[in-house]
Chain A
Amino acid sequence: MTAVMDPPAPPARPTGPVVRARRIARRVAGPWTYAALIAVLAGSAFPVYWSFVVSSQTPDAVDSVPPVLVPGGHLFANIARVFDTTDFALALMNSVIVSGTVTVSVVLFSTLAGFAFAKMKFRGRNVLLLLVIGTQAIPTELGIIPLYMMMAEFGWAGEIHAVIVPGLVTAFGVFFMRQYFERAIPDELLEAGRMDGCHSLRLFWHVALPAARPAAAVLGLFTFMQAWNDFFWPLVVLVPENPTVQTALSTLASGYTTDYTLVLTAATIGTVPVLLVFLLFGRQIVGGIMSGAVKG
């Protein structure tokens, strides 16, 4: 985890009153600020930590008073139990396929459309762009009944492509890439390419795509995590025999025996992939959100 953190800060310089006065705008954090931030950090991390603790205990330990707050040694036994009692392997595989396909597709189509919107002139461009921005705000979940009817009609209900296909594009992705291209590629560069007789698809492939890599990566991270965590639509359209991780969790939690160890072990397993992505690329994710990358 430390690998992705800031390099250690240099030793604090002596801050006399003069220096401090100049630094008023960005107050140097005092002990209370740190105490508050550490409390926030602890609150943020605790439920995830707690899930891990329960996953590593025997079922009896969960019901003990006072509660056990440190990890035990039963993590692997519990993981084995999850895979033995449920079809969690299938759920994981389905989630990998769904999230992987959706991520590649969203990044590709968003980059293509974003490039066209930012760097090509065509009739109706502004109207179409407004349409993209407008549809970002629409809660498409409210169309879930007709969407389900369509999937039933196509014979896709219960199959994972019913989850994949509606996720192949997002308005957010198109807008996000468009904003990036607008700033990242100078028009002169493309103009020069055109003068050399470059077809626009070649311009896209050799100029735009390499330049778009940082933004495409951030979009890919967001899309992957969102697809992995998606719950409502998979719950509706899939069947318990062919689940994603999230719907499998829901089925497991709905069982008549409330074996919290088993349920929370599954929750922990299902969280590990996004947690890994987060620990490796957390800096980029933070940067993406702060630069206005609002999830749609």
Chain B
Amino acid sequence: MVLMDKTTRRHRWDTKFSPYAYVTPYFLIFGVFGLFPLLYTIWVSLQHRNLLDEGGAYLVWFDNYATLFADPYFWNSMGNTLSLWMLTTVPQILFALGIAALLNRKVRTRTLFRMGVILPNITSVAAVTIIFAQLFGRDFGLVNWVLDLFGAGQIDWQAGTATSHIAIAVMVVWRWTGYHALIFLASMQAISPSLYEAATLDGASGWQQFWRITVPLLRPQIIFTTIIATTGNMRLLAEPLLFNPGAAAATGGSDRQFQTAALYLYEQGFTKYDFGYSSAIAVVLAIATIIVAGFGYLVTKRIQTD
């Protein structure tokens, strides 16, 4: 073996092992506190495991799932989840496209407007929901006061399924639209001006240019945003929980009219301590999210590109 001086040997050792040392903290912590719990959820979902039971945990295979699929409260929560997904994701993306198009014009004080649209996103979901719950109050809420000016009368926003979903959707859309708008804006600015010049010479209106040039070229970002928004909107929890805070908050309204699947997971897991059943909800919700995100992908993929 060739003799190496000390520095070279240390150098070899360094380049060989240091990279692993640098990435280890991430993989260690994420593995233990991120990935492991996620995978272990599947195992727990196959168990009878309730903290309030003396008997301890034991394997029941698919009993939790059988109960779940026969549970009307679960289907109710899945219905609410899908309804809220629709009511949040579609407006978010359409409004974000519109706002991005406005911001893409030559605007003075553009930093002010860009910061303005992102402001809702930095506020806390708890604070925002509490504020909106007050704005949507039945007797003294500002929304009803404004509607009253137009003769719409007092709406009990929390009481109805449709009205409560609209109110919650407003909170989510308010919070996330600006964020998506900035992502769209970044891509819009990369579109070559010559495309619009040519279209203008051909007599295309601004509206036509938006739908025929801008939107098709933003297809990758629209697909991406749809998937990101879907994974977020399929597990709404804070908004329905704090829309009607109080002792029975986890049911999402007196008739469970706005209980999402994530909130039902919370109710089963942390008010009834039925960890097995709650884990089964988590697994089904994860699968449902993948299916819905896949559906969103298929729809947005169909945006025409020439």
Contact = CB atoms under 8 A, between A and B. Distances in A.
B64 to A, nearest CB: 12
Nearest to B114: A286
B114 A249 contact: no
Given A6-B111, A140-B37, A144-B37, A264 B131 contact: yes
Interface centre among A54, A117, A200, A253 (most CB of B within 10 A): A253
Contacts of A113: 22-23, 25-26
A112 B19 CA distance: 9
A9 B107 CA distance: 10
Given A24-B193, A67-B142, A270-B124, A48 B119 contact: yes
A253 B133 CA distance: 10
A50 B115 contact: no
B34 A139 contact: no
A290 B182 contact: yes
B231 A139 contact: yes
Contacts of A27: 105-106, 206
A290 B186 contact: yes
A283 B130 contact: no
B270 A112 contact: no
Categorize the interface residue count of chain A: 35 or more
Contacts, number: 299
Given A47-B132, A169-B25, A26 B117 contact: no
A73 to B, nearest CB: 21
A65 B142 contact: no
Contacts of A64: 140
A29 B22 contact: no
Interface string B23-57: 10111011001111111110010000000000000
Contact of A199 (B14, B142, B196, B270): B14
A5 B113 CA distance: 10
A286 B179 CA distance: 9
A286 B182 CA distance: 8
Contacts of B126: 229, 231, 246-247, 249-250, 267, 270
Contacts of B15: 120-121, 194, 200
A144 B283 CA distance: 11
Contacts of B112: 5-6, 41
Contacts of B130: 249, 253, 263-264, 267
B114 A165 contact: no
A283 B282 contact: no
Contact of A43 (B174, B247, B266): B174
B278 A145 contact: yes
Contacts of B23: 112-113, 116-117, 128, 174
A85 interface: no
B102 interface: yes
Contact of A141 (B35, B196, B235): B235
A263 B134 CA distance: 10
B294 interface: no
A197 interface: yes
Interface stretch (A31-39, A75-83, A211-219): A31-39
Contacts of B7: 197
A276 to B, nearest CB: 11
A254 B245 contact: yes
A271 B126 CA distance: 10
Contacts of A264: 130-131, 134
Contacts of A294: 183, 228
A125 B34 contact: no
B178 to A, nearest CB: 6
Given A25-B196, A29-B106, A254-B247, A40 B111 contact: no
A109 B27 CA distance: 10
Contacts of A142: 38, 41, 235, 282-283, 285-286
A44 B19 contact: no
B247 to A, nearest CB: 7
B272 interface: no
Contact of A29 (B107, B120, B235, B238): B107
B222 interface: no
B82 interface: no
Interface centre among B36, B123, B179, B185 (most CB of A within 10 A): B123
B119 A278 contact: yes
Contact of B25 (A4, A40, A109, A140): A109
B115 A229 contact: no
Interface string B85-112: 0000000000000010011111111111
A9 B19 contact: no
Contacts of B286: 139, 142
Interface string A270-285: 1100110110001101
30 contacts: A5-B112, A29-B106, A33-B107, A40-B99, A41-B116, A45-B116, A47-B132, A54-B134, A67-B140, A116-B19, A121-B15, A131-B27, A143-B39, A143-B41, A146-B36, A146-B279, A147-B33, A169-B25, A171-B30, A197-B7, A199-B10, A200-B14, A231-B126, A246-B125, A253-B130, A254-B249, A264-B131, A278-B115, A289-B186, A294-B183
What are the nearest 8 A-B pairs in CB distance? A25-B193, A143-B37, A143-B38, A116-B22, A146-B37, A229-B124, A166-B33, A41-B116
Given A29-B106, A29-B107, A62-B134, 15 more contacts: A37-B107, A40-B99, A41-B117, A44-B174, A45-B116, A62-B140, A113-B23, A120-B22, A121-B19, A125-B19, A142-B282, A246-B124, A250-B242, A253-B242, A254-B246
